[in-house]
Amino acid sequence: MKNNLDLIKIDSGRLGVINFNNMIPVKENNYELFDLNSKPTTTAELNRQNLLKSQLLLLNKNI
């Protein structure tokens, strides 16, 4: 997969891929907010939080 108008690799794909063609509007009752500032209680939560923070940082740099 190469980066193009509707697909972006985050950190060359190491942190994931965003496919804009698959983005659809979602009603508020169909998602859950995730607080990146909360203290994780498990290793899995810590890993997920670190991944999401890394993704967010790179996406915000490349708006």
The tens-digit pLDDT sequence of the chain (63 residues) is 677 778 888 888 899 998 888 888 999 999 988 889 999 999 999 999 999 999 999 889 877
Determine the pLDDT at residue 16: 92
Element (H, E) at 43: helix 43-61
- Which amino acid is present at 47? N
Q: Give dist(CA 15, CA 57) in Å, integer.
A: 11
Helix (H, G, I), strand (E, B), or coil: what is residue 12? coil
Angle at 18 between CA 4 and CA 16, to 5 degrees: 115
Greatest Cα pair distance in the chain: 38
Determine the pLDDT at residue 26: 92
pTM of the model: 0.72
